[in-house]
Amino acid sequence: MFQGVTMSSAPELKATLTLPQTAFPMKANLPQNEPLRLARWAALGLYEELRKAGEKRRQAGGSYYLLHDGPPYANGPIHLGHALNKGLKDFVVKSKTMAGFDAPFVPGYDCHGLPIEIKVDEHLGRKKLEMPVPAVLEACRAYAQKYVDLQTSQFERIGCFGRWQKPYKTMARDYEARTLEAFYGFLEKGFVYRGLKPVYWCIHDRTALAEAEVEYAQHTSPSVYVRYRLTSDPAKIDPALAGKQVSTIIWTTTPWTLPASLAVAFHPDFEYVALEAHPSPCEPFSPCAEGSEGVSAPEVYIVAAELAASAFAACNLGETRELARFKGSQLENVTFQHPFLERSILGVLATYVTADTGTGAVHTAPAHGADDFYTGQRYNLDPICRVDAIGRLHVDPDAWPLTAPPAFEGKKVWEANPIIVAMLEERGALLALSDLEHSYPHCWRCHHPVIYRATEQWFISLDTPIKPVQNEEKTFRQLAIEEIDRVKWDPAWGKERITNMIATRPDWCISRQRIWGVPIAVFMCEKCNQPIIDASLNRKIVDLVEGEGIEAWHTTVVANLLPSGTACAHCGGTEFRKETDILDVWFDSGTSWFAVCESDPELKAAYQAFQEENAPGSSGNGLKSGENSTTCLYLEGGDQHRGWFHSSLLTSVALRGHAPYSHVATAGWTLDEQGRAMSKSLGNGVDPIDIAKRMGGEIVRLWVASVDFREDTAASENLMQRCAEIYKKLRNTFRFLLGNLQGFEPGRDQIKEAELLPLDRYMLARTRELTEKILGWYETFEFHRVYHAVNEFAIVDLSSFYLDVLKDRMYTFAPTSHERRSAQTVLWRISETLVRLVAPILSFTADEVWEYLPKVEGREASVHLALFPKPEEIFSEDPAELLEEWKQIFAVRDAALVKLEEERKEKRIGKGLEAELEIAASGAQLALLQRHATGLKEIVNVSRVTVVEGPELSVKALPASGTKCARCWNFMPEVASYGTWQNVCTRCQEALKEMEIAPPDAT
C-alpha cells in the first residue's frame, strides 16, 4: 500500500503524478510461492551453479570456506532446534559464498545407534528373535532412510542450500568402511585395550542395557547397616582414638554386592565424628551380638557428623560419646576388614558421597556401580566381576580360605540377599535390617529389576603416548588439550568447557552390545581371548564392508576371512571367533572428518587445504593466526562439547595429530517465551514445518536471524507472528523501492555520484556505512545484528524518512529531471545493496526481488550467485565526514520540527507544505545551511526554507507565502493556469510539458 497518494485535489491532475508502480506483489503468499521457487532453483541446478561459481573464484585467487555439517540423528521429523542449527549454517554458507569464498556444503545424517534399534525392536517384537542379523540391519536401514528423506525435504523446504541429493550418511557403505578403518587406526597404533566396565544388565534377558532402555519402578530391597572394623592404626586418624576398637558403618540396599566390596568411600570435605557407643544390654542387631556376656566392650564408630544421629537411631546404638571430629580426607588409605571375606578394604575419597541418606561411609564395589568403578580406577582396585551373565554369584577364591563354598555361591543375586544378611548377622556385623521400598531401575523389555555388572568392553586409552613429528612425546590427552588451544572457540567459554572435559574424562568406552552399528570387526582367540591385530587382514575387512556394508561381518564365515594357518600371537591358538560388539555411535560421527571431509570428492580438496595450512608445524603455523588460511568450521549446539566436537577432536588428534577444525561455534537451546524447554506435554512446541506451511519458511529463517543464537533462544507462536509482521514491513520497503524504479534504466539514466543531490549522496553514504557493518557482522556470525540493522534501516532510514520525504520529488517532478534521476539512482543502488545483504537470510524474498530489479547486462540468474556489494562501489568516499555533516543538518531538522509542531498547535500555521521556515545561523553553520537549503525544505517537508544570518541558531515557522499549486500542493510565488488547469506552479508545468500531458479541453 503506497502512502500519500492523495496529494492533488483535481482528479485529472492527480492522474499526472508519477506514482510508484511495480508488479512485485504486495502479498507474499509464502506458503504457496516458496515451493515454486524451490522448484525453480532445482531446475536451475542452483547448488551446482554455486559450486561452479565458487571454483571459478577460487581459481582466480579465492579461498575455500568449509563448514562441516554435524549430522543430526535420523529418527524423526525436524524440530525447531534443527531449524535453528541448519538455518545458522545456511546463513554462514550463503554469506561466505557471497563474500567470494568457495563454500561447499554437504549435509549429513547420523544413522546407527540405539534409538533406531529400539524403535525397530518395538516394531518387530518377538519376530526379531527369529530374524537373521542382516534382516534386522535391513529394517534399521530402512527406518533411518525414511527419516533421512523426510528431514532432507524439510531442510530444503526452509530454504537451506546444500548437496541435498547426496547427503553423507553414517550408514552408507563407504562411511561404514571409513569408520572401521578409523577404528583399526586406533587399534594398530596401540590406543585400544579391553577392560571391565559396569553397565546396566538384565539377568533375565542376559544383555547389557543402555540408559535409554532402563525404566524406573518401585521395588522393595533389604536395607542394611553393616559394621566394617578398622584394621589400620586409629591414632593416625585422630590421637584421641589411640587403643580404641574402631569401626565404620556402611549402608546398602544391595547386600549381594558385598562380596564385591573393595573400598569404603568418604567425602574429603565432610566432617566425620568418632562416637563411642555405651555398652548396652544385648538386643537384636546390637553391637554386642558377638557372643560376649551380655555386655560388650565399648565400640567406636566413624560416621559423617551430619548423619550420625539418624544412623545411630537406625542402628539402635543408644547413648554415645564423641571422641573426635575430623575431615573425611583423614580417612584416605585407612584399612578395614571385610565383614565376611578375607579381604582388606581400603578407605578412599569421593565427592559424590552425599549427606542425605546412609552414614557418609559408602560401600564401594567397582564391579557394580559407575561411581564405584571410576573410584576403583583412581585407587587401582581390580573391578573383577563375580556375578555371571544370568546373575549368579561366585565367591572370590582368594578371599575365601574355607574349603566349603559360602552359602551364596551359585545363587542368583536376589536369592543371595537373605543369605548374605544371615552371614552378616552371624558375624555380628549386621547393625540394622529393614525393608525399603524405592525407585529402582528395571528392564524396559521384561520389566524385571536390573543390576549393574562389570563386563568386558573396548576402550581407547586417553593416556596413550603419542609422538608428534617434531615434538617430544606426549599423552593423547595432553595433545588433545594442546590442540583445543589452537582452535577458535565461539563463544570463548567453549574452550574451557571442552578442556575440562578432556582433562578429566575416563578412557573412552567404544563398545556397545548391540547390532545396529559398525562392528568391532576383530577376531578373538578362543583360547586366550586376545584380538588378532593384523593390518593386512584389517584392510581386507574394510574392503569387504565397503563393498557389502556392515552386514558382511555377520554373514561371512570366519574361515573365509582368516588366512589358513592363522595362529594367535599370544598363545598360538588356532580357533577364533568374531567379536560381536559394535562401536559407540559417537565414534561413527566423530570420524566424519575422515569419512567425509577427507574422502568426499566435493570436499577433499578444501579439507586438504585446511589440513596443510593448519597442521602443527605447517606453513599455516597454528589455527589462531589463520586469517588467510582455510577455515574449517563446526557449528552445533553447546551440548556437543561432550558429543561431536569431543569425539571428532579425539579421533583426529589420534589419527592425524591435530584438531579436525579451526573454528567451533555453538548455539544455545530453543526454549519457549517463559524459558521452558519445548515439550509435547506443555504444548509449547513450535514446529518449523508447521510455521512454513502457515506463514512461510522465510518466517522461520527470519526468526533464526532475530535471535542471538549463542544464548538460549526463545520461540513461540507469538514471536513467529512478530517475525511475520517484520517481514511484511521489509517486503513493503522493497516494494516501495521497486515501485519508484519504474522507468529507470540504469545504463541510460543513472547520475554520476558527484552530481547527485546532497540528500541522495547522504543516503548512499549511510548505505555504505550500513553495508560495512553488516559485512563485518556476517563475518562474525552476528546475524541478529544484521537483522536489527536491516529492520532499522528499512523502517527508520527508508520508510519513515527517505522514501517519505522523496515523495514530492518522485511524484511531481518531471520523470526525467535531474533531481528525480538522482533519487532513482540512489534508490536503485540501495535496492541492489539491500537485496544482496539480506539474501543469506531472506533467501526466497531476495531472489524474488532480484527478478523485479531494473534489467542490467550480465546479471546472474539468481541473487545467490551474486557477490556482496563492495562498500566503495556503493559510495566511493569515506562516508565519515559526510555523515558527520549530516548529523548537524539533522539537529537543525529536529529543531525545525519542534518549532513547526509548536506553531501548529497554536494554529498559527497549517500542515506540511502550508508552512515555510526562516532559519538564522552564523559562521560555519550558516554556510552549511546555505549549502543545504533545498535539502532542508525536502527533509522538513515545508514549501520553502530561507537561511539568513543571525547571532545564533533560531528557527521561525510562518504560513507559506505564495499560492498553493493544485498539482504538487507546494506554495509557490508563481502559479498560473495551464490550459484548463488552474493554479499550476512553474515546476509542475514543466513536468507536464515533458510528459506531454495536455489538460482536458474546456467544455
Binding site for Zn ion (CB under 5 A): 202, 204-205, 443, 445-446, 525, 527-528, 530, 568, 570-571, 573, 965, 967-968, 985, 988
**Long-range CB contacts (< 8 A, 24+ apart) of 58-62?**
58/102, 62/100, 62/101, 62/102
- The DSSP string of 120-169 is HHHHHTTHHHHS-HHHHHHHHHHHHHHHHHHHHHHHHHTT--S-TTS-EE
CB-nearer residue toward Zn ion: 518 or 968: 968
3-class SS at 108?
strand
CA 963 to chain centre: 65
CB-nearer residue toward Zn ion: 39 or 446: 446
CB-nearer residue toward Zn ion: 31 or 573: 573
CB-nearer residue toward Zn ion: 823 or 965: 965
Cell 590442540 locates to 483
CA 59 to chain centre: 33
CB-nearer residue toward Zn ion: 443 or 798: 443
CB-nearer residue toward Zn ion: 737 or 972: 972
Q: Which ranges constitute the DSSP H helices of 558-602? A: 558-561, 585-590, 592
Closest CA to 670 of 67, 18, 78: 78
CB-nearer residue toward Zn ion: 189 or 570: 570
Please say whether the beta carbons of 833 and 771 come within 8 A.
yes
> Nearest approach, Cβ of 183 to Zn ion (angstroms)?
21
CB-nearer residue toward Zn ion: 671 or 976: 976
797's CB contacts (< 8 A; 6+ apart) are 763, 766
> Nearest approach, Cβ of 524 to Zn ion (angstroms)?
8
> Nearest approach, Cβ of 447 to Zn ion (angstroms)?
7
CA dist 206 and 213 (Å) reads 14
Closest CA to 113 of 70, 167, 166, 171: 171
- Write the CA distances from 938 to 407, 638, 757, 975, integer angstroms: 103, 52, 11, 20
What is the 3-state composition of the chain as percent helix, strand, coil, each rounded to the nearest 5?
45, 20, 35
Beta 963-964 vs 207-209: how paired, if at all? unpaired
> Nearest approach, Cβ of 771 to Zn ion (angstroms)?
36
3-class SS at 245?
coil
Q: Could you tell me the three cell numbers for 77?
A: 521429523
> Nearest approach, Cβ of 576 to Zn ion (angstroms)?
9
CB-nearer residue toward Zn ion: 74 or 525: 525
CB-nearer residue toward Zn ion: 202 or 341: 202
Prior bond to 999 cis, omega within 30?
A: no
> Nearest approach, Cβ of 216 to Zn ion (angstroms)?
14
- Write the CA distances from 589 to 47, 131, 595, 662, integer angstroms: 25, 28, 9, 18
> Nearest approach, Cβ of 570 to Zn ion (angstroms)?
4
> Nearest approach, Cβ of 825 to Zn ion (angstroms)?
23
Cell 554458507 locates to 93
Q: Name beta bridge partners: 636.
A: 666
CB-nearer residue toward Zn ion: 643 or 815: 815
CB-nearer residue toward Zn ion: 446 or 682: 446
> Nearest approach, Cβ of 996 to Zn ion (angstroms)?
17
Give the dihedral of Cα atoms 197, 116, 642, 451; nearest 10 deg: -30
> Nearest approach, Cβ of 810 to Zn ion (angstroms)?
14
CB-nearer residue toward Zn ion: 173 or 445: 445
> Nearest approach, Cβ of 15 to Zn ion (angstroms)?
15
String of b and e for 681-715 (b: at least 16 CB within 10 Å)? eeebbbbbbebbeebbbbbbbbbbbbbebbeebbb
The amino acid that residue 982 corresponds to is Q
> Nearest approach, Cβ of 533 to Zn ion (angstroms)?
12
> Nearest approach, Cβ of 940 to Zn ion (angstroms)?
18
